[in-house]
Amino acid sequence: MKRFAVKHFLLFILVAISLPGFTQTAGKVLEQRTVKSSILSRNIRYTVYLPPDYDHSDRSYPVVYLLHGYTDDNTGWLQFGEINRYADKAIAEGTIPPMIIVMPNGDSSWYINSYDGKENYEDFFIKEFMPVIEKTYRIKAEKKYRGIAGLSMGGYGTLIYSMKYPDLFAAAAPMSAAVWDDEQISTMQPDWWDGALGQLYGRGLTGKNRLNKAWYDNSILKIVDTKSADDLKKVRYWIDCGDDDFLTEGNCLLHIALTAKQVPHQFRVRDGEHNWTYWRTGITDALAFIGQSFHQ
C-alpha cells in the first residue's frame, strides 16, 4: 500500500512539472557555448545563465553581461562566484527580477582594442557578440533592459563599455574595478606593465611615455574628465570596492571625479580585499541595483 502511494505521489509530481505555468526553482546554466567572430578570427566561448522559468514561458528577459577578471575566463563567475546559486536565490526571494546573465571569455584583453589592432575585443563585443547573443536567446534587446557588471579587469570593462556606449546600457556595476590615474601608470613596475598592459598600450614603455593616445583613449578617469555630465548621466552606476583592495585609490578617484561633475552614482567601500569572498558577498546587491533599472 505504501509503495502504491509513493508511486502515485511521484506520478503527481511528474504531471505537475509538465503543466503550463510550472516554475522550477533553479535556473539553467549553459557552460560552454561559442560565438564565431570574424573580427577576432576565432570562436569565443561564453557561459550563460537562464532564469528558472525560461523553459516554461514564452516571455523575453532583460540581460546582464557579467565580465570576469584578469587571467580568468568565462567560467570564473560560475565556478568561483557561484553566480547561478546567488541568482536563483535572489530571483526566488524577489530581490532581482528574472534575468539572463551572459559571461563572455575575455582572455586577457581587458575588453578593449589593442593599440596595434591585433586584438580588437571591444569591436567584437559591441558589433558581434551582443547582437548574436540577443538573437540567440529571448532577450529584450533595448537599453532599458540591458545591464553590465564585472570584477577587476571586468570592472574596468564594465566602465569602458558603459561610458563609451551609454546608449546601450541602463546600468553598470563595476566591482573592484581596475582604475588607475596617470601617476600610477607612469610608476607601475615594468614587469607588470609589460605582462598585463603592454599588449594594449605598447610594450617596453616607461614613465610618462606610457601616457600615449592609446592610454588616454581608454583611461577611465580621462573619459570621465572629457565626457559631458549629461552623457555620463545616461547610465546608472554602482561602484563597489573593498577597503583593503589595492585598487581602492583608483575607485575613490573615480567617485570624486563623478561627484565633481554631479553625476549621480552609488559608491560602496565595504570591508574586504581583492578576492572572491568580497565579490560573492557583493554580487546580489550589484544585480539588484541593475534590476531596479528594468522596472518602470
| Per-residue model confidence as pLDDT tens digits over 140-152 | 999 999 999 999 9
State the number of CA atoms in the 13 A half-sphere of 27 facing the CB. Answer: 24
The identity of residue 243, as a single letter, is D
Tell me which H or E stretch contains 173.
strand 171-175
Is 180:237 a contact under the CB 8 Å cutoff? Answer: no
For helices 83-92 and 283-292, give the axis angle rounded to 10 degrees. Answer: 50
Question: What was the pLDDT predicted at 36?
Answer: 97
* Residue 15: band (very low, low, confident or very high) from pLDDT cuts 50, 70, 90: very low
Per DSSP bridges, beta strands 266-270 and 42-50 are: unpaired
**169 vs 89, 144, 184, 218, 258, CA distance in Å?**
25, 7, 29, 18, 18
Lowest mean pLDDT among 5-14, 101-110, 129-138: 5-14
pLDDT, tens digit (0-9, with 9 covering 90-100), for 28-81: 999 999 999 999 999 999 999 999 999 999 999 999 999 999 999 999 999 999
pLDDT-based confidence at residue 296 (cuts at 50, 70, 90): confident
In a domain, 75, yes or no: yes
**Count of domains in the chain?**
1
Predicted pLDDT of residue 25? 81
Distances in Å between the Cα of 254 and the Cα atoms of 174, 194, 295 are: 11, 25, 27
Residue 3 pLDDT: 52
Q: Establish if 280 belongs to a structural domain.
A: yes
Residue 108, SS3 per DSSP = coil
Which pLDDT score is estimated for 48?
98
What's the mean pLDDT when you consider all of the chain?
A: 93
Instruction: Give the full edge-to-edge strand order of the sheet including 236-242.
Output: 28-37, 42-50, 100-104, 63-67, 146-151, 171-175, 236-242, 266-270
What pLDDT digit, counting tens, does each position of 202-237 carry? 999 999 999 999 999 999 999 999 999 999 999 999
Query: Stretch 154-170: mean pLDDT, rounded?
Result: 98
Categorise residue 136: left if φ over 0, alpha if ψ from -120 to 50, beta otherwise.
alpha
Closest CA to 289 of 97, 81, 141: 97
Write down the pTM of the prediction.
Answer: 0.91
Flag whether 28 is in a domain: yes
Question: Which residue segment(s) compose the domain that 162 sits in?
Answer: 24-180+219-292
Assign residue 268 the CATH number of its domain.
Answer: 3.40.50.1820
Q: Is 1 a domain residue?
A: no
Mean pLDDT of 238-243: 98
118-148 confidence digits (pLDDT tens): 999 999 999 999 999 999 999 999 999 999 9
The β-bridge partners of 238 are 266
Is position 245 within any domain?
A: yes
In this predicted structure, what is the pLDDT of residue 24? 54
Collapsed DSSP state (helix, strand, coil) of residue 28: strand
Does residue 19 belong to any structural domain of this protein?
no
Q: Is 90 exceeded by the pLDDT of residue 264? A: yes
Residue 16 falls inside a structural domain:
no
Report how far residue 247's alpha carbon sits from residue 152's, in angstroms, rounded to the nearest whole number.
8
The neighbouring-strand residues paired with 240 are 175, 268
Domain membership of residue 212 (yes or no) is no
Sequential DSSP letters for 237-261:
EEEEEETT-TTHHHHHHHHHHHHHT
